[in-house]
Structure formats: C-alpha cells, structure tokens
Structure 1
C-alpha cells in the first residue's frame, strides 16, 4: 500500500470533515458538508450494518455534502455520488459498491452472485470490488472474491491461508490475529507470518489486529479453500485504550498453558542495567521465571535447573546465553523478531530438556529498501544494516555489537585485587532470506560471539558461541506446509594461567551439535490440525584438554576422551477443536538416544558407591557402535474449555527427557561449567509436569488475568557430591549423584496490553526441593531428606509498567522483589591441621536476605515525520533507584578462632545511564 502525502488543503479539509462528523454523530440526521467519501463510509459503517466497497485511488479527492435523515441517507448518498460521476450499486442486503460510471439498468438483488456464477460481469467495474487467485489484500474497501464459484451453493466451512507482511518493509509479522467479525473463528500468525483460518463459506469480514499496527478489515466472498496474503500498516498514533486481540484472545482461546510471548519492542521499554535492551532480562520479568541473583547467567523456570531450558535461536541450540558475567544476553534486541517461552504444554516437536523451551527468531530484513540503525550506551555500541538484494524477493540483515567495559573494572575497590582486570565481548548476526515464489522460502542465519575477561593479568578466560541454520519452508498444498532445518552449533571455552611460568597451562572444553529437522503441519478440516515430523541430532563433546601453556611449563598434558552421541525422535500431535468451547491438543514423541564409540567406560559394583575401589571391570566400544541406548515415549496433553468469550479453564500434562547434563558446583552458569552426555554410567534425566489454569479478560477486555498452578517431578538430576572435582575428571560419574526433585507453585498475572498505561503485575509462590535417596550413596546430602534447591525462592513479585505522556515521551519502571535464595550456614568450628575449620550444617537450610530492586527510565521516541532522513531515540534511566545492597552471596571465613561472615553485592548503589539510538 502506498503512503499518501496530502497537501495542506487536503489536511485542512480532512480536519474540518472530522470535526463535522463528530457533531453529526450524536444526531439522528446527517448534516455533513464537504466531507471525504472515506469519512462518510466510516460513519455509516459505524452506525449501520451496511458495508461499502470502492477504489480509494479513484475517490481520495472526492468531497461530498450529505444532508439526510437516517431513513433516506443511502438514497441521498446515491444522488450526491451521481453528481460526481459515480454510482451506488446494491450487490446484496447491506452490501454496496461505489463504481465510476453510469448505472446499469435493471440491477436485481441477485446481480452479484449471478454474475459470479455465470461469468457475465463487467470486468472493468467488478475489478474494483473483487479479485480471484492468490493475491495480497491491501484495501479495506474492496470485496475480495476467492475460490471456485461452482461451490457457491454449498454450506460448511473453508480454509483461508496466507502470509502477513509489513507493507513498508515486506517482512513477515508474527503474533497478528486474523478473525471473523463475530469472533467465532480466529488464527494467529506464526514466526514466519503464516496464518491458517477456518471460516464459513460465503461472505465474511476479517478483522486484522496486531500490536503496533492499524486495526483493519478485509471483506471476502470465499467459495472454497483459498490463499490470501495480507499487508498491514504501522499504527503511528496508538495512545487510545484499544486492546489488541492478538494478545487478549490468545490468553483465553489458546489451548496451551504456560505460553508467554514478549514483543521485541516491549523489551526496549523495560529498564535494564546500563540501558541495554535484553531478551533474557525481559524473560525474567515473567511469572515462574527466576534467577539466583543479579547479573547471574541463565534462568530457572518452574523449579528447573538452568541446563533444563532449551534455548533456540533460529532453530539452533544455545548452550551459554550470557555475555559479561550475565549482565547481557547474547541476543541483540535490534534483530529479534519473535520470542516465545513454553513453561508448560510444550509442543511435541520440541524435546531434549525437561523444564522449558525458549524460542527466539531473528528478523528477515527489509525487502523493499535499505535501512539501518545504530546505538550507543555506557557499555555497548551496535550497528544494524538491512535491505533488499532482489526487491520483494531477497533481503539481507547484518548486525554487530561490541563493548568497551574495561572502565567498569577500574571501579572495583583495589583491595579486591580485581581492579586491574578487563572484560569485553562482541557478537555478530547475519541473515539472508529468499522467496522463490509465494509457497517456497529459504532462510540462512549465522551467529558468532566471543567473550574474554580476566581478573588478573596472568589469568584469562574466553568463550565463544557459534550458531548457524538453514531453513526451507514450503507450502506443499493448501492444507500442508513443511519446514526443513539444518543447524550447526558450537560452544567452547579456554582458560589460561601463567601466574607461575613453570606451572602455566591452557585448559579448554568444546561441544558441537549438528541437527536436522523435518516439521510438517496438516490441517485436515476445521476441527483437526496435525503437526508431525522427525528430529535428528549428532553430538561431539571434548570434555577437557589440559596442556602446557608454552615450552617453559612443566605441567603434564591431560586429555579426556572424546564423547559422541546420536539422538533421533519422531513426533505427532493433533489439535482438535471438539466444539467452539472445547479444544484438546494431544501429542506423542518417541526418542532414541545412544552414546557412540570409540569409548572406554568402567563397570562398578552395583550395590556400592562408585569409586576407584569399587571398579570391577572396564569395557571398550569400537567406533560408531552404540553404548547403552536409551529410548522412551513422551506424552503431551492440554485441554481448554471456554465458558464465555472472555473466560476459560485449561489443564495440561507433559513428560520430557533430557540426554545432556550441565555439571557445575556454582549456582549460576559460568564459563567453566562443563556439559556431559548420557552414557553407560550416567542416565538421561526425565520429568513430568501437570498444570491447571484460569484465564479471564476483565473491564471490557482491557485487562488480562491468569492464574496457573503446577506440580513438577524430576528424576536423575545430577547434583555434585561433597568435595567433588568436576574439571578434568576421567571418572566424573564418581563425583555426581542422581537426585530426585519436586516443584510446585501458583502464578498470578494481571496484564494490560495497550493504551497510555500498559504493562503487567505478577506474583509467584513456588517451592523447589531435591532429595538424594540412591541406596548406593554412602553419605547423601541432608541424610537423604528433602532440601531446598539452590534456586528455591518461594515469593516473587514483579511489576513492569509503561506510561505514555505523548506519542514521543514515555516513562517506564520495573520492580522486582523475591525471597532470598538458600545458603548453607556454618554451625560450629573444629581444629584440624594446625588451624580452625568451619563445620557446616544441612545444605541450603538458611537464606540470604530478601531481594528488592526498582528501576526507572524516561524514553524519547523517534519523530513520526516521514520526511526526516533519520529518526533518533534517547533513553535516560536509573537502575536500582533505591541503592539497595542486594546480597548476591554470603560467605564465611575463620580468622583465628573467630568466624566472620561477609556479604557480596553486585550493584550496591544506583546506576544512572543514557542510551542513544538512531534509525536511518
């Protein structure tokens, strides 16, 4: 749709027209002078059941005077149109077409349908109100005729499919609702912008709504299954309290529980440390999602450990999602298109983790013109460039981000010994998308990041993520589409220590993954939607390499044996709409996993703790041969019953398995954490979760209320034994213990999606406990009783709010309160080896002080003047306004025969910041 630039005269006339309409609206009669046809049509459609179809390009300069009573307004309008060379046709009851030219005599009520069936219509006239075949629907005032007219006399439902695009950039738009006017039938566009909607055959009015886009309509007459692409325009002036159905209906009507969607533009308005918009920090504002503390890498979902979350970026797997000690995530918000978090009701196509799935997708890039953006803040700077290679077909997007954070290290007190350290990172995103035709698309994406930090000039750490994927999407038939994905992922870290030249070493770890996925979706009819496919994964793990730093070092090289594994899974799920009120999604996934040779592993006495002393034999396996294969089914079931259009109840159950484990003796993700593949001695984790939820839209759908309760059970979670050695351990199975876990809780969320004041308030009560009851363990933690997990935080209250003063100026705030996390306290001292030592009590029996933080920001948005070459925005804010010294950890030291406690805070004072962004 082309943008129209009106002259000053037209703008003044439009303003006068709107003012006159405002007066006339409250009266029973119409007294409109020199009003645009578009204004008259909107007034009539608002006050009457009539609908009008016309070509805007023929009538955009037409001004009409309309003086009539309610009973004869259409007759009067017809006379006024005739004066300007137009005619008003009645094509069906309450359906009118406005065409240029002289009326055809003898038009009867069945003219429209008869002409469609017999093909005897005036092509020049009807081209203004109807189209056939696949097309992009831009106009709100055209009647789009779709399908084969020979089915016009039949009843029943048909299916409409297509893609939704931004009319300026040509990029697909996700999270847009397409629904019939009676709201009985609706669909939401996916991450590719694709929608599939079942509707009655015949005349339909589509309502299209999405956040940040103008609400629009499309008028259809559909005879059979058809395809129609939709182009939608940005909503520049969006301060009115209109609720977007894309969110409000999803809350009530979606069959899945625990699904959270966060828009990339909303992330930008959540105050963050140092002003950098951050995906993971935004996820942490949602109910049921927690972290162990400030600047902590990773997150915990409904009692799960950090490694139990599957993080996907363009369908590739991310193993370390943080930069700069967890201050930033690896996702550049400027290139993010969509973000979905599954806390429950995880789709059957996803597997490999037992707690949650975070799916992040990047944008495709502008297909119509070259654009860019840049930003600078206290710690980071970034640049994004995008544009068409072949207009409307091929686009490219390139983005880079880097940091200059060494000055931050200088602020650390000298007595810490860390103020001479350094820390920096950079990341790169690149993507190409190509449209072969309307049904076939190709997406190629790549990501690379590198972090490096050191607290001492002689000790350095560095780690990197590599992520690449190729996706091919094809609409095979009107009812079946397919996505093929090939992805490669790599995570590695290096640690160097040259403090002592003779003992200098270089230690490294590496994990690689290759995945192939074939995902299909078939809409059988208006009641069933099948999702099915095949996933395959190949893992290569180098668990540790320890070598001399240079020729002067005397350390002995040590290399742990490489691990390899293969995993494959088949899945099938059916979303069944039994009645308009009752829907069920049933899913089944069957996975096969096996470690592969070459490999040498040990056999231990079955009734004794694993150790060198209890070893009874060793087994060598040849290259490519399977080692202790594991296979089992997984089940996914969710159900929704809608009592009314704004109230529903949902229930669900899902079981999951996990074949790869992260081993760590810290409470947060750190660069030196290692991953371990399941093998003959370490079995896969497994778990299940059941949930129940209530969803209600309040105050005329301006507020969304949800209450969800859940219970989760986990088996074979790996906890570390006392005095465990996790790095460079050839027998890691002797230092980890299979642990059971249970988690339960209630999440309450109140959200306002749009308007001057928007945001959400959430409260979570939850408990997470672990237990080591393996009879082979000689000394289980807490004597085999339940104990709190390190990330157990019972109470969690979060508030995210944004208030718009004008179209350009807004105020944002973020408040976070939670119970302090568990800690282990010393209960006494004892004398050993010439000094006093601490005697600790039960693990995690005490807690550090509670956590509270308030952040605020003031946002100046870009100007909406289209003639400007650049658009700038500024954010000024304060992180931790109250300056509360939130404890990150509490530790103890003995000094003489006295035990002293110390508390570590990451941000113990307010942190002001300013960021500047520009689009061009």
Structure 2
C-alpha cells in the first residue's frame, strides 16, 4: 500500500508545483522590431498564461522595438508605458488590464449582464436585462473609481457601439437624481426626471464620469462587452459651507444643451442664499435670476421676460398652484424642507407643458428616505417648520411630510399704528409625498398640498385663501429606455372675504376654481442620438367667478351670484431631441391644443358694428350644461438649436409659441387675494405668445467661470387690459370692461457666474421692455390714443448680485 501512495504523492506534487510555477512565471523572451502592441500581446500570451484586456484606440499609436531574454513582464510593460498615459494592472487570475490616465485595482467583484432578450432572473432588475447595483459604502465609493466593472455578456456577438443604461440614485436615500450628467469622452447624456440614462459606448474599455449638484463626482471604469444596465449610486458632497451655485448642475452643461432660458436651483443651493426671516424662499431665489422681476419688494408673483404674473405656470409636482405666496408676499407657498429643486423655463419650454405664455416654474418634491426614519425642524422669528420622512417598506417605498406655520401676530401688536395693532395674520401649509415601488416595472407616487392664509384688518374685514392639491402618478417601464408616466389630479384655489363689524352691511364674498386633470407622458430613447417625448394632457376647469351674500340675519345686503364657467382643454404633443453631430444639436416639438368653453351659460349678444357696452346688448343665448359655446384650436411650436464653437463655447437660437386659455383679472399691479380668474369665451380670446431668442455661452474651465448672454423678442396677442373705472368683481358682462390688446416685449439678459473658489456667486443684468397697444377697433376707450404704451409691470433695468466669500472652512 505504501508502495502505491509514494509515486502518487510524487506525481500530484509535481503537477501542482509545475502549475504554480507556470502561474507565477512572468518572464518572457522577445525580439520585436517596430511591432504593434497587438503583436506584443500575441507573443506574450503564447509564452505565458496571461491574457490582456485593453482598448485598441489607446494603443494604436505604440510602436515597439525590443530584444530581451527571460526578462520580467512587469519591467517590460513599465518601460513600454513610460512617458505615456497608459497604465497596467495584473489581477490574481492572470488578467492584465491596460487603462488610460488611471491605474486600475483589479480585486472588484464583477457581474455579467445578460443580453437584452435574456430571461430576467433577479428580482431587483428594473429592465429586461440583468443589472449591477452598487452598494452604499463610503470606502467602496472611493475605491470603485479605480476598479473595473464588466458590462455585458462576453459571449455575445456585437458590432459597433452598444447601449449601456440604468438609473442614478442618491446612496443616502435611494432617491433618483434628476439632471445628472454622464460623460464618456466627448459624449454626454443627462438623466431624466426618473434618474434614468442611456448612453452608447464602444465595445471594450470605457471610462464614464457622473456629476450632479450636491453630489461627489463618480468615475466608473467599464469593460463593455455587450448591451447592459449599470445603476450608479452617488455620495452626497458634505463639504461644509460650500459656495453658492445656481442654475447649472455641471460645468459646460449650459454650453452643451440645446435648451435656452432654463435656470435650475437645487435645494442645497437655495438654502445657501440670503434668507427671509430665517427661512429659505423659493420665489426670492427665482427673483435673483436674469429676466425675472417683480413690481415691488412685498408683491406676490413675478414677471418673466415682460409677461404678467398670470402668464406663469407654477407647478408643485405637477399640481398647479394659483397663489404661490403667504403673508402678503413675504413668504412663498413652498416649504423648503420638502423641496428637491426648482426649474424655471423662460424659453425652450418643454412641449409637455402648456396653458401659459411666459414661463413654467417647476418645483419638485423630495422623495422620503427609503432606508431609515428622520426629520428636521426650525424656528424663526415669524415661522416654524417641521419635516419627517422614512420608509413605508425598506428600499421599496417612502414618505415625506412637511408642515409650516406662522406666529406673526406678536409683531403686529408691537407696531405703533392702531390699525396694525388690531390686525391679525397667520398661515400654514402641509406637504406630503409618498412613493412606492410595486415591482421592477411599476412605481406609484402620491403628492398632496394644502395651504391656508387668513388675515384680519383692524377688527373688520377678514380675508382667507386656500390652495388644495392632490395627484396620483403611476410610472410604468414598458421596456428598456421606453417608459410612461400617468398622472391624475385635482387642484383647487378659493378665497373668501368676510365683514361682520357692522351687522346691517355685513357680507361674505367667495370665489373658487377647480381643475381636474389627466396626463400621459411617454419617453423613448434611442441611444445618444434621439430622445422622443410624446403624450396627452387633459384639463377640465370649473370656476365660480363670485358669490356675494349677507352675513347674518341682520344684514341688508342683496345676494349676487355670477354664473359659473367651465371649459375643457385637450392637448397632444410630440418632441425629439437630436444630437446631429458633436457640434450641432436640435430640440423640436409640436403641441396641438384645443379649448372649448362649455355651458350652462347665458351669453349676451351686442349690436353689430357697435362697441360692447351694456346699452348695446340686443339679445342673449342660453347654452345648456355641457353644451359647447366656443372652441379655440391651434398649434404650439417649440424649436431650439445649439452650435458648439468648441468645448467651452456655443451659440443657440430658439423659437416658440404658447397659448393661454385662462386669464387673471386684477385692478392692481401686484397679485392679490381678491383677483379673479376668467376662462376664454366668445369674446375673450386665448392669449398667444411667440418668442424668438438668441444666446451666447462661454465657460472658462480653469477659473470655473460662466458667461451667458441672451436676447429675445416676443409678440403678444389678446392680452387683457381694462377700461377706466372697470368693474371686475361681480360683473356678469365682464367683456364690456376689458380691452383686447396686442403687445411686444424685448430685452437682453447677461450673467457672469463663478461657481467655486473662495469668492463665488453671480451678477446679472436685465434690460427689458413691455409695450401694449389697444386692439379693439370699435372701442372709444383706447389707451394712449391707440399708440403703444408701457405696461404697468414694465421695468426696463434690473441688476442682481449675490456674493459668497469663504474666509475659512467653517465661516463664510
């Protein structure tokens, strides 16, 4: 038996020794003259058990002449790559990776992705192919930048470029990062509102860089073998007292995107700006941007590029906010504790938005933390706020709720004026957002908003107004890079005025507007070349223009009720973002909108050829409930283009048209709680705006300085102005007191911005004019004898400066 085991042990030991020696033998003999790197690799692989992985583009320029005998491979590679940007790394399983600019660490665990038609096996997969998701680990986040991630199936037969797609999230709370920029060489793509991206890469070695506001840049080294999905989690940048950065989320992004007149502010940037009574304010931040003005310091609302305050569509997670302020305009309606970011579109308005002709202010809400419970709060001299968030189901669902209130009466009681001493003012708002992942292809979101303001002047008249909003959104992923977002919601705004000091004349006045809406938005990406958006919007609007009633049994006030109005607006849209070349990109879209005013309603007719006055009424027509009264139909064009002069300089041009079917009637320059809204009808036509714009953009990368200049010209049709002494409240024949006008607005906006360094901030200058002209041929009430005249919100010059100087790491 011993005689049998002795030779067996010798044989096994000899085999293991020879294999170990072969695995560790890294000496080669080479005799090459002006050889390519590929020829070197072939020679080395024949002599050893090593295998090379590299990008041919990186090594094509190498010519190798070498004559060595039994020399170490590591020394040979060091000599070859000396004075080049190339590095090599050797893994434990004898794989040699050649990389450019950075040396790889090769002990990263990798996952292979199945081709797109493979069967899904992992529950966490969110597309029809398997995916890799990076774990939330600070050490790994640092180390992974130099490690190699294999993407795709090594056995797949692929020619040309392949598609790598996925989702970018915040590692802290799993919240999708919107507007993150993924860059590979000269190719760059931006994540959509779901944090998803798609980029075309060459097969082989690639390096991508991911950047987002408030997050640390993430670098990923990829070995792409076929189409695959890579989800990326980014770490928050927690550097203390970071300088203020506004409007852009990545260097050169303002240069590279075709869009014009788009400004972005993240909540981190918002909170670093000067605050109002100890609280960050969304609308005050918006007012610091070029092209945005207001008629006064305490006014409600804002004007964009010469437009009136009602020409701005203000959205809170797709919900329309009709009155965006609290406490006479000192505070905005948005609780900064739950706000994720703000986007203002002054031109290049996405085709999915409609209904206003000046701008869209899109305020997005944070998703709650999907991993743990948390909260924050604050107390200021006038307000307090509280936020609470946490998971409903770990990693799958979350909630966030914010509450804010005021206790401002103590200030009023300390004022010397008796009228103010006897006054009261307070408000509160409540924001709620729920998110739930149903499965890998379906997600559900619920957003709610409630606000109430109440103030009483000198013990007499009490004013109240409220915003009430709720919507439900369902996101469905049909397949890779094609998804839809379906929204249904309800918006309500109402106000009331109540007087009870004198019982005989006590009254209540009420107004409300209700909006029911559905939306279906679809996005389909075709690599880096095309991103197509299309969908449908439907709105049903019902408003009560005013109800005036006695307040109490002693009141002698006569009841008055203005007939209700209702209408339906439908729109279909289609848009395409096209990267035609590295220098030229175009975004083109078309929105077809139709509005129909509906009964029940009595419509007065007037004597032909005569001015519309009460004395010229000759008849009336009654329309039944739901019966069409008047329909308006028209196209809205969205077009913008970018030409890149070089990597840091571009010029852009744009043209757009918008239509607006709801109008705010106000006797004051500033927005007030007693303003009423009016739908288009037989006499009041939709407002139409057309805008052309041209811009120049330059980035000085070394100093992180951006310069931009935009000029624009707008044509306005069917703008509403008023006759002298016009009665806007409780008027059944409002068309007799309004004047259809046409107008023009033009201006130039300049901005110089420094994003980082000890001194950072921006300075902006806006020159703008808005001129109107009465467009009523039969009226005898033409303003300025029918010539152009400045609007009451015309403000030619506006300069804004925000500066932040960092004295030290902890003080600025």
**Shared topology, TM-score over 0.5?**
yes
Summarize the alignment of residues 634-645 of structure 1 with structure 2, pairs less than 5 Å apart: 634-645=636-647
Give yes or no for the alignment of 1:316 onto 2:323: no
Residue 575 of structure 1 aligns with which residue? Answer: 577
DSSP 3-state at the match of 2:269:
helix
Deviations 1:186-219 (A, max 9, x none): 1222333222323333321111122322222112
DSSP 3-state at the match of 1:407:
helix
From the superposition, tell whether residues 117 and 665 of structure 1 become closer, same or farther in structure 2 (CA, over 3 Å): closer
Deviations 1:102-142 (A, max 9, x none): xxxxxxxxxx99x9999xxxxxxxxxxxxx82121353244
**Worse-matched range after superposition: 753-762 or 594-603:** 753-762
Residues 89, 96 of structure 1: 8 Å contact kept: no
Deviations 1:250-308 (A, max 9, x none): 21011011000011111112113312100011000000000001111000000000000
From the superposition, tell whether residues 97 and 412 of structure 1 become closer, same or farther in structure 2 (CA, over 3 Å): closer
Residue 428 of structure 2 aligns with which residue? Answer: 426
Residue 209 of structure 2 aligns with which residue? Answer: 207
Summarize the alignment of residues 710-749 of structure 1 with structure 2, pairs less than 5 Å apart: 710-749=712-751
DSSP 3-state at the match of 2:145:
coil
Give yes or no for the alignment of 1:98 onto 2:103: no
2: CA distance between counterparts of 1:288 and 1:349?
23
Summarize the alignment of residues 47-446 of structure 1 with structure 2, pairs less than 5 Å apart: 71=79, 89-92=95-98, 98-99=106-107, 133-137=130-134, 139-155=144-160, 157-180=161-184, 182=185, 184-237=186-239, 246-414=249-417, 417-446=419-448
1: CA distance between counterparts of 2:195 and 2:395?
15
2: CA distance between counterparts of 1:720 and 1:228?
58
Residues 166, 233 of structure 1: 8 Å contact kept: yes
Q: Report how far residue 87 of structure 1 moved.
A: 7.0
2: CA distance between counterparts of 1:309 and 1:242?
26
Residues 86, 100 of structure 1: 8 Å contact kept: no
Residues 90, 97 of structure 1: 8 Å contact kept: no
Match of 1:755 among 750, 754, 757: 757
DSSP 3-state at the match of 1:547:
strand
The TM-score, its normalising length taken from structure 2, stands at 0.83
DSSP 3-state at the match of 2:341:
strand
2: CA distance between counterparts of 1:227 and 1:321?
41
DSSP 3-state at the match of 1:409:
helix
**Worse-matched range after superposition: 603-612 or 320-329:** 603-612
From the superposition, tell whether residues 683 and 100 of structure 1 become closer, same or farther in structure 2 (CA, over 3 Å): closer
2: CA distance between counterparts of 1:100 and 1:605?
84
2: CA distance between counterparts of 1:338 and 1:224?
35
Residues 532, 574 of structure 2: 8 Å contact kept: yes
2: CA distance between counterparts of 1:751 and 1:659?
37
Residues 152, 227 of structure 2: 8 Å contact kept: yes
DSSP 3-state at the match of 1:140:
helix
Give yes or no for the alignment of 1:622 onto 2:624: yes
DSSP 3-state at the match of 2:504:
helix
DSSP 3-state at the match of 1:544:
strand
Match of 1:659 among 658, 661, 666: 661
Q: Report how far residue 176 of structure 1 moved.
A: 1.9
Deviations 1:799-854 (A, max 9, x none): 112223334322xxxxxxxxxxxxxxxxxxxxxxxxxxxxxxxxxxxxxxxxxxxx
2: CA distance between counterparts of 1:240 and 1:632?
47
Q: Report how far residue 88 of structure 1 moved.
A: 6.7
1: CA distance between counterparts of 2:373 and 2:806?
30
The TM-score, its normalising length taken from structure 1, stands at 0.74
Residues 88, 96 of structure 1: 8 Å contact kept: no
Match of 2:486 among 467, 484, 487: 484
DSSP 3-state at the match of 2:254:
helix
Q: Report how far residue 153 of structure 1 moved.
A: 4.5
Q: Report how far residue 476 of structure 1 moved.
A: 1.4
Residues 427, 453 of structure 2: 8 Å contact kept: yes
1: CA distance between counterparts of 2:75 and 2:368?
50
2: CA distance between counterparts of 1:772 and 1:646?
45
From the superposition, tell whether residues 185 and 540 of structure 1 become closer, same or farther in structure 2 (CA, over 3 Å): same
Q: Report how far residue 586 of structure 1 moved.
A: 1.1
From the superposition, tell whether residues 71 and 133 of structure 1 become closer, same or farther in structure 2 (CA, over 3 Å): same
From the superposition, tell whether residues 144 and 699 of structure 1 become closer, same or farther in structure 2 (CA, over 3 Å): closer
From the superposition, tell whether residues 99 and 542 of structure 1 become closer, same or farther in structure 2 (CA, over 3 Å): closer
From the superposition, tell whether residues 98 and 480 of structure 1 become closer, same or farther in structure 2 (CA, over 3 Å): closer
Residue 10 of structure 1 aligns with which residue? Answer: none
DSSP 3-state at the match of 2:251:
helix
From the superposition, tell whether residues 190 and 754 of structure 1 become closer, same or farther in structure 2 (CA, over 3 Å): farther
Give yes or no for the alignment of 1:687 onto 2:689: yes
Q: Report how far residue 536 of structure 1 moved.
A: 0.2
Deviations 1:492-538 (A, max 9, x none): 00000123211100000000001100001112343222110000000
Residue 595 of structure 2 aligns with which residue? Answer: 593
Residues 351, 589 of structure 2: 8 Å contact kept: yes
From the superposition, tell whether residues 99 and 740 of structure 1 become closer, same or farther in structure 2 (CA, over 3 Å): closer
Residues 247, 753 of structure 1: 8 Å contact kept: no
Residue 767 of structure 2 aligns with which residue? Answer: 765
1: CA distance between counterparts of 2:215 and 2:528?
28
DSSP 3-state at the match of 2:629:
strand
1: CA distance between counterparts of 2:363 and 2:775?
38
2: CA distance between counterparts of 1:382 and 1:679?
43
Residues 244, 272 of structure 2: 8 Å contact kept: no
From the superposition, tell whether residues 448 and 240 of structure 1 become closer, same or farther in structure 2 (CA, over 3 Å): closer
Residue 525 of structure 2 aligns with which residue? Answer: 523
From the superposition, tell whether residues 135 and 722 of structure 1 become closer, same or farther in structure 2 (CA, over 3 Å): same
From the superposition, tell whether residues 243 and 141 of structure 1 become closer, same or farther in structure 2 (CA, over 3 Å): farther
Q: Report how far residue 69 of structure 1 moved.
A: 12
Q: Report how far residue 240 of structure 1 moved.
A: 9.2
Q: Report how far residue 750 of structure 1 moved.
A: 1.0
2: CA distance between counterparts of 1:302 and 1:560?
34
Residues 87, 99 of structure 1: 8 Å contact kept: no
Residue 543 of structure 2 aligns with which residue? Answer: 541
Q: Report how far residue 93 of structure 1 moved.
A: 6.3
Q: Report how far residue 174 of structure 1 moved.
A: 2.3
**Worse-matched range after superposition: 323-332 or 89-98:** 89-98
DSSP 3-state at the match of 1:722:
coil
